[in-house]
Amino acid sequence: MAYSALLSLTHVLQRTLKYDRSYLLPGEKQQIESLLEKVGYLQDFLDNFPREKIESIEGLERKISDAVCQTEDIIESCIAHQVLEESTSHSGDIFKTSFHEIAKLIEEVDSIKIGAGKIEDESGIQEDLECNTSLPVGSLRPASSGQSTMVGLDDTMAKIKDHLVSSSSKLEVVSIVGMGGIGKTTLAHKVYNDKYIEYHFHICAWCTVSQKYNVRNILLGLLDSMKIQIDGSEKDIDQLVELLYKKLKGRRYLLVMDDVWDIEAWDSVKRYFPEDKSGSRILLTTRLENVANYINSGSRLHHVRFLNDEESWKLFCQKVFGEGFCPLELEEIGKKIAQNCRGLPLAVAVIGGLLSKVTKTPHYWRTIAENVSSEITSNDEQCSKILSLSYKHLPYHLKGCFLYMGIFPEDFEIRVKVLTKLWVAEGILKPASSKTLEDVGEEYFLDLVQRSLILVQEKGSIGKIKTCRIHDLLRDLCIMEAQKEKFFHVIEGSLYGIQGDTSMRRVSIHVKNGQLPFEFYHVAKGTLQGDDKTQWSLEGLFRSSSVEYSVDSRSLKVLHIEGRDQMRNGMQVLVNMRYLNSYLGHHIASIYKFRNLQTIIIRVGITTLPPEIWKMPQLRHVKWNGIASLPDPPISETKGEENSIVVLENLQTLSMINRFSWTEEVLERIPNLRKLAICYDSMTEADWKEYHINNLVHLTKLESLNCLIRSDRSNFLVDITFPTSLRKLTLNGIKLHPSKLSILGSMPNLELLKLKSSAFLCQEWEPNEGEFLKLRFLLLYDVELKHWRADNIHFPSLEHLEIFDCELLDEIPPGFGEISTLQSIELFFCGDSIVESAKKIEEAQSDWGNDAFKLYTDKY
């Protein structure tokens, strides 16, 4: 991955010049600046090289990748040595020797530059460098992110619906069968979301099974789909079975089991589905006909056919042009491309996603058509080659991000925020002016979604994509391409595969039977060994196998673990760590040596952050899943000297901080904070003044604030002014006085408001006209409120309303029936009067023609 390697080295060089200048010898600064210039040249060259000719420079790319990776390793190793030795001098022979090696690498880069120039001359692209087919960062909009497109198959869908709602009272299984990528899941989604199906069944739930099924995960998936909030780590299988059985018992339910690969998966869970002769159904998708035949003897089996040419063309046009039309000059060649996909919807969608983002010219489309025609051979191999073609034609800046998706296990639900933070930590994002790297990562992610390369799994409260997945075939492609280019290695089940291989820089270990479902770390080449010569053992970190192996921890850059880990040793030398997500709170006494740390997510272990946190200018995200205190910034003894106060200008997230003090000394250190979660014990008005709560308004970049008041409910809104940038606000344990409620309503950009365990002091709420103009999501959870008087003019942009456990509330204001933007109301543990008022709102929304509105309640 030459381009990703160049981006990573660029970040390393820039950080070295900005933060590590004290470790540089005379003349080394100039060497780094010279190398940075050469790296920039090579980035520009790859950025502008025509994608249809990229095969001609594969050898050059490999040479660039090898050279820059070696350079990065040398620089980081030398700086790490200086940090660990805590040396204030620059007399170390290792550092001098390393830069002698860098000098030789610069000569090699120069020769590559000459070779690149020759290729430019031969290809004739030097005069046309601006004809880049990739869209610029910032031009992307999530036009139809996450929407499934189904063309044809209406007859099949009608038959499936008929079987699901047939008069038979027995529990029956309906199976959808077909090859990978043919649209089984899309068809099942279409049926599952059909309004008549939703009306017919009391409960609908969905789970993905996949090849490496796990009974516990199937149960958790079904319960989560039914919006049953549980802590799965604290429930054994018997408890999960009991929860599921009680929820389904006596009700007509539809359960979708997507991507079933073997008979045992079905046999392991079928007994947990009650048979009450109420007409319940199981909808199952599988690639294997023998599985479907075993489960339902073929009586309710539906094969998904290939698209015909007309349907393929229709789907192709939808993916490429949206609601627009295909220009006449592209129609003939476009139909050829669609036809060459051989009726496979996944192939049509991926090729369509590719062509929607590039220059729409007959010449370029003919190149695609010729490659598609020659690459297609048969079945899954056919689709694999089409997908490979799509990868090869991705813009360089997206290639590393797309391949990175392959580090996750099959059918893994990937959190988008975690993914973008990992991209940032790896240094594979290209900076853009006036944007944070996280913003750039989000735009890259949306680009990949729009190219049909990433599947949207779940959206958040205000519509942003929260989690995603990648199709099995696309994941296979990522792994194949990544291992070919030595970008990362995936180890399935056994750890033995990594011993002795010194070429790996990123390793993802997918454990079959251990505690950890997913483990990932980033190492520099030459550090994985099978002997005792390296720095520390990872036996305590990777406890899912009895295999013992070691890694040079000085080269470890990313440590991300899904699950509970028990790190015992080695934390003190992780000087190059950029991303740390683990249960390692009690091991960070030497955090000041983590000079490159950007993201730290600690789940247990400490109650106070170390004071060195204020000396780590590269920090971007600090998150404790518990509650930790933040010490005051150290008082500089050299005030007036340059850089005497470290400003954490990159810091965007602080969560959860106990008794956060909003003093000027703190706020001037964190000027770009975007997300803050804070906790206070019982507070008086005098306490709020002591903590300078009135200074909140000076955090001008703050977008999300979560405030928890423990013990007695407190009047957090005393003399407070929120920054106008705030978009999300969660208040937990707050006293809400009528005279202060206008503070919330007047926030100009507020889109999400969550009120939890709070009390309206007069038990009434009547907003003023002109308030909450942009509010899209409102949650009331355990709120002491009896009378709520509002109309459609008070919440003109509201899309989602959720009410949980509000026993006093008499009704939802009837005027909500006229809010044109309203999409859903969810009610749980609420009185009958609230449910009845919600049903009237549902009728009013229907009368207004809002068919998209949905009402969810735990009462039937």
Q: pLDDT per residue over 289-300, tens digit each?
A: 778 888 875 557
Judgement on whether residues 295 and 317 belong to the same structural domain of the protein: no
Judgement on whether residues 344 and 462 belong to the same structural domain of the protein: yes
**Cα dihedral: 324, 326, 328, 334 (round 10):** 180
Helix (H) or strand (E) holding 506, with range, is strand 506-510
Helix extents (H) in 20-153: 28-48, 58-85, 93-123
Classified as helix, coil or strand, 479 is: helix
**Residue where a domain stops, chosen among 303, 334, 357:** 303
> Does 613 fall in a domain?
no
Report how far residue 56's alpha carbon sits from residue 627's, in angstroms, rounded to the nearest whole number: 55
CATH of the domain at 43: 1.20.5
Q: What is the value of pTM for the model shown?
A: 0.78
> Does residue 584 carry a pLDDT above 60?
no
Helix extents (H) in 124-143: none
Per the structure, the complete domain to which residue 124 belongs is given by: 2-128
Helix (H) or strand (E) holding 629, with range, is strand 621-629
Judgement on whether residues 267 and 346 belong to the same structural domain of the protein: no
> Does 148 fall in a domain?
no
The number of folded domains in the chain is 4
Average pLDDT over residues 106-126: 57
| Phi, psi values for residue 510, rounded to 5° | -105, 105
Of 36-45, 268-277, 742-751, give the lowest mean pLDDT range. 36-45
Report how far residue 786's alpha carbon sits from residue 228's, in angstroms, rounded to the nearest whole number: 26
Q: What is the pLDDT of residues 483-517, one digit of tens each?
A: 888 888 777 655 454 444 445 677 776 655 544 44
Judgement on whether residues 319 and 293 belong to the same structural domain of the protein: no
Judgement on whether residues 284 and 380 belong to the same structural domain of the protein: no
Q: What is the pLDDT of residues 451-469, one digit of tens each?
A: 778 888 888 888 899 999 8
Q: What is the pLDDT of residues 774-797, one digit of tens each?
A: 999 999 999 999 999 998 899 999
**Residue where a domain stops, chosen among 81, 107, 128:** 128
> Taking each helix axis from N to C terminus, what angle separates 2-19 and 396-404, rounded to the nearest 10 degrees?
90
Judgement on whether residues 73 and 184 belong to the same structural domain of the protein: no
Of 440-444, 465-469, 689-693, 851-855, give the lowest mean pLDDT range. 689-693
> Does 622 fall in a domain?
no
Mean pLDDT, the chain, whole residue set: 78
| Dihedral sign for Cα atoms in the order 292, 296, 298, 303 | negative
> Does 241 fall in a domain?
yes
CATH of the domain at 237: 3.40.50.300
> Does 651 fall in a domain?
no
Report how far residue 813's alpha carbon sits from residue 825's, in angstroms, rounded to the nearest whole number: 12
Q: How far is CA 306 from CA 298, 348, 380, 807, 827, in A?
A: 20, 11, 13, 53, 42
Judgement on whether residues 394 and 429 belong to the same structural domain of the protein: yes
Q: Tokens in use for 657? A: 């901080």
Judgement on whether residues 296 and 314 belong to the same structural domain of the protein: no
Judgement on whether residues 328 and 285 belong to the same structural domain of the protein: no
Q: Quote the pLDDT of residue 339.
A: 86
> Does 680 fall in a domain?
no
Instruction: Give the count of beta carbons closer than 10 Å to the beta carbon of residue 8.
Output: 21
> Does 171 fall in a domain?
yes
> Does residue 768 carry a pLDDT above 70?
yes
> Does 332 fall in a domain?
yes
**Residue where a domain stops, chosen among 78, 101, 128:** 128
Q: Quote the pLDDT of residue 537.
A: 32
Judgement on whether residues 841 and 749 belong to the same structural domain of the protein: yes
Report how far residue 630's alpha carbon sits from residue 633's, in angstroms, rounded to the nearest whole number: 9
Report how far residue 196's alpha carbon sits from residue 622's, in angstroms, rounded to the nearest whole number: 46
Closest CA to 65 of 7, 145, 129: 7
Judgement on whether residues 776 and 854 belong to the same structural domain of the protein: yes
Judgement on whether residues 112 and 190 belong to the same structural domain of the protein: no
